Structure 1
Amino acid sequence: MLVVSRRAGESVVIGDDVTVSVLEVRGDVVRIGIDAPRSVAVHRAELLAQLARSNQEAASPTEDAVDSLLSAIRDRPQGD
Structure 2
Amino acid sequence: MLALTRKAGERIVIGDNIVVTVVNIKGDSIRVTIDAPKEIKVYRGEIYDAIAAENKQAAVAKDLSELNKLKNIGIKK
Aligned-partner Cα distance in 1 for 2:35–2:56: 31
TM-score normalised per structure 1:
0.68
Are residues 61 and 39 of structure 1, via their aligned partners in 2, closer, same or farther at CA, if it must alter by over 3 Å?
closer
Which structure has greater helix proportion?
1
- Larger Rg: 1 or 2? 1
1:1-37 Cα shifts (integer Å, max 9, x gaps):
1111001111111111111000111111111000111
Gaps of 5+ in 2: 70-77
Aligned residue in 2 for 1:76: none
Gaps of 5+ in 1: 74-80
User: When the two structures are aligned, how many residues end up with a matched partner?
Assistant: 69
- Among all aligned residue pairs of Structure 1 and Structure 2, give the percentage whose two residues are the same amino acid: 39
Aligned residue in 2 for 1:33: 33
Q: Give the RMSD, CA atoms, in angstroms.
A: 2.2
TM-score normalised per structure 2:
0.70
Aligned-partner Cα distance in 1 for 2:30–2:57: 33
Aligned residue in 2 for 1:78: none
Aligned-partner Cα distance in 2 for 1:56–1:14: 29
